[in-house]
A and B are shown apart, each in its own frame.
Chain A
Amino acid sequence: MDLIAGLKQESVIKMNLADYCTAEADASVKDVLAAMNAQHCHNALILRGGKLAGIFTDRDVLMKIADNPETLDKPVSDFMTSEVVTISKAATAADALALMSLKHVRNIPVVEDDGSIVGNFTHFSVLDFLAEKFPDVTLTHYPNSFRRFSRRRHGG
């Protein structure tokens, strides 16, 4: 079995999907940021009339918001990416991954037939899949080389 073969056999909703938070399109950037921080999310799915209208991520914050305080009171819809790449929950994990590299995105919301959101497929979903397949060598594997740097606590 290779990794791709494994991902082909796995339905995307069986994967570990990332948390996300939602916000209304006319919410202010400030409020959306507050919600993201409160929920420890790095992306917000933006809804308009109950439908997915865009996505706003930490990358948008870096590129457009961080040094522009005047953006904070504007609606998040001005800064979100409106073209959201989603995938049906019927797809396989391999499909999701292929879509990810095709569209060069880091988050793919997984949606039900009716458009409601199940979760967010990210690269972590794949890594978690791998880790679960090989818990002995990934999750419980004590990182040897890291020992040399064990004083270094915090992460990136």
Chain B
Amino acid sequence: MATEIKLTRKDFMSDQTVRWCPGCGDYAILATVQKTFPRLGIPKENFVVVSGIGCSSRFPYYMDTYGIHSIHGRAPTLATGIKLSNPELSVWVITGDGDALSIGGNHILHAGRRNVDLNILLFNNRIYGLTKGQLSPTSPVGTRTKSSPYGSIERPLNPVEVALASGATYVARTIDVLQKEMGEIMYQGALHKGLSFTEIMQNCVIFNNGAWFDYSDRSKRADNDLFLEAGKPMIFGKNKDKGLVHSDNGFKVVEIGDEYSIEDIAVHDPTSLDNAFLLSQLTYPLPLGIIYQVTKPTYCEGMWGQIEQVKAQKGVGDLNALYRSADTWTVVEEGELEIKAEVRGDVESNLDEAYVDEVLGREPLEADLAEQLSGLTLYDLNPKAPITIGPTARMDHALYLMREHRIGALLVVAPDRHLTGIITEVDIQERLAGTGMKLHDVTVQEFMTPQPVALPLDASVLEAVHFMTSKRFRHLPVVDDTLRPVGVISSRDLVEYLVKHL
């Protein structure tokens, strides 16, 4: 027997300090979500709140539910995975206009067309709040921001229109100041099977204050906002004396009176996509409420249905067997390519005779040696482990290490452990001894040779010979792919190895 679940707003308030600016519209949205969740009769542990990046995306911290503050723009993808793996959950996506429509534009579209059973709340403040006020994809043409100092030249996206185009099956719009209406829209969205998408017009009091005043301010709301109700005529205005009628190109605003009666006013049909698109275009009045709602198969139903069906036909799958089934192959090392070349004409006669004699007279074994040499890598040489020091250490410590280990070269590594410099006994002879330098006052990074030549482990031994003979380096650091030192070779190491192995 299912017991009734009794939760209150308090159950959804976390112990985290809310870090939005005083007066930010996000507070009202948070409060509304916390009031709406208890109404849903869902166990607390079945709520998941997933967000991307932005001020708005800090939301999950403030909800005492499971949640993920995820990757910029990717909240819908994580949420899709969560919902798919456990369809019992009530999954909420919190995103901003930047998060959802700039970097996350692609993910929003796919969540829509798949009709994943998620509840997306898009906080639209027409600005990047978190990064301190740059243009967002919903900022109007002409908006001056730090990233558009002479006014935006980009036409903005309309979130409702984008959601409709993507195939979302529930598309609504509300404003942060309208807590009651907002709560109802969230509630209906949660009940909706399939993707519910709600644009919440939100005021960023710091970087875009008043972006929605025409619709949110008490003095203007009644005149400019159209509260949609399914099956009801679309009327608005302080005295409910204006309405929408169909015209050749969309909706037309008319006064209810002599010319038009209430009977002439168009009725809101949330199941009509045409109607929804037309409404999405209006800015006067601004349609608020559920703009579009239809029922279509959800992604989870489709996916789980398919899985059950295939299981019934083919039995339960075996992942391991699948991995090892067709389309796998073993890569075998290829032999040397045989090069077939043809030499025409008399090549030798054009060459210097002495040189030809020398070449012909060369001990053939030398060629063997060359070949052997070119096959050897520093890996074969098994370089000694490097002795390292940090760049901010003092030179007296460097000296101590070199003496203690009786080594002629010390590798300097940055905090992320990549090679950034080298100190050798040659440097100490040439630039330190006799200069009166106070070792304790000098840091390693001030003294070192920055960014020394380094070789990877798979470098040919010949490359080491090259650098040692041509540059007279007595020590060469050996590094891995991320430039972290894995060894050091000295001219002595190299010679001893070569003598032993060649």
Contact = CB atoms under 8 A, between A and B. Distances in A.
Interface stretch (B167-175, B305-313, B329-337, B474-482): B474-482
B459 A42 contact: no
B271 interface: no
B197 to A, nearest CB: 48
Given A63-B403, A124-B491, A149 B428 contact: no
A119 to B, nearest CB: 15
B141 interface: no
A2 B369 contact: yes
Given A2-B369, A128-B469, A156-B452, A97 B495 contact: yes
Contact of B491 (A34, A58, A127, A141): A127
B436 A69 contact: yes
A152 B454 contact: yes
Contacts of B498: 3, 126, 130
Contact of B428 (A61, A152, A154): A61
A155 B365 contact: no
A62 B451 contact: no
A82 interface: no
Contacts of A34: 434
A79 B57 CA distance: 68
B344 to A, nearest CB: 24
B455 A134 contact: no
Contacts of A67: 396, 399, 439
Interface stretch (B25-33, B151-159, B419-427): B419-427
B433 interface: yes
Interface string A43-65: 00000000000000011011101
Interface string B456-470: 101110110111111
A154 B103 CA distance: 41
Interface in A119-142: 122-124, 126-128, 130-131, 133-134, 136-139, 141
A72 B491 CA distance: 29
A45 B425 CA distance: 18
Interface residues of A, number: 52
Instruction: Say which size band chain B's interface belongs to.
Output: 35 or more
B472 A124 contact: yes
B502 interface: yes
A91 interface: no
A143 B476 CA distance: 13
Contacts of A128: 469
Contacts of A37: 429-430
Contacts of A59: 408, 425
A156 B476 contact: yes
Given A126-B499, A127-B465, A128-B469, A30 B422 contact: no
Given A131-B469, A152-B453, A154-B451, A62 B402 contact: yes
A42 B429 contact: yes
A4 interface: yes
A117 interface: no
Interface centre among B366, B396, B468 (most CB of A within 10 A): B468
B469 A66 contact: no
Given A33-B434, A127-B494, A143-B459, A66 B428 contact: yes
A138 to B, nearest CB: 5
A34 B434 CA distance: 9
For the complex of A and B, the 6 pairs showing the least CB-CB separation, nearest first, are: A145-B459, A3-B502, A143-B463, A123-B491, A58-B429, A152-B451
Given A1-B363, A66-B428, A146-B453, 19 more contacts: A36-B429, A42-B429, A62-B399, A66-B432, A69-B434, A69-B436, A97-B499, A124-B469, A127-B465, A133-B366, A139-B470, A141-B462, A143-B455, A143-B459, A146-B455, A153-B451, A154-B451, A155-B449, A155-B467
Interface of B: 363, 365-366, 368-370, 373-374, 396, 399, 402-403, 408-409, 422, 424-426, 428-430, 432-434, 436, 439, 449-456, 458-460, 462-463, 465-477, 479, 483, 490-492, 494-496, 498-499, 502
12 contacts: A4-B502, A33-B433, A36-B429, A58-B408, A62-B399, A66-B428, A97-B495, A101-B496, A136-B370, A139-B469, A152-B452, A154-B450
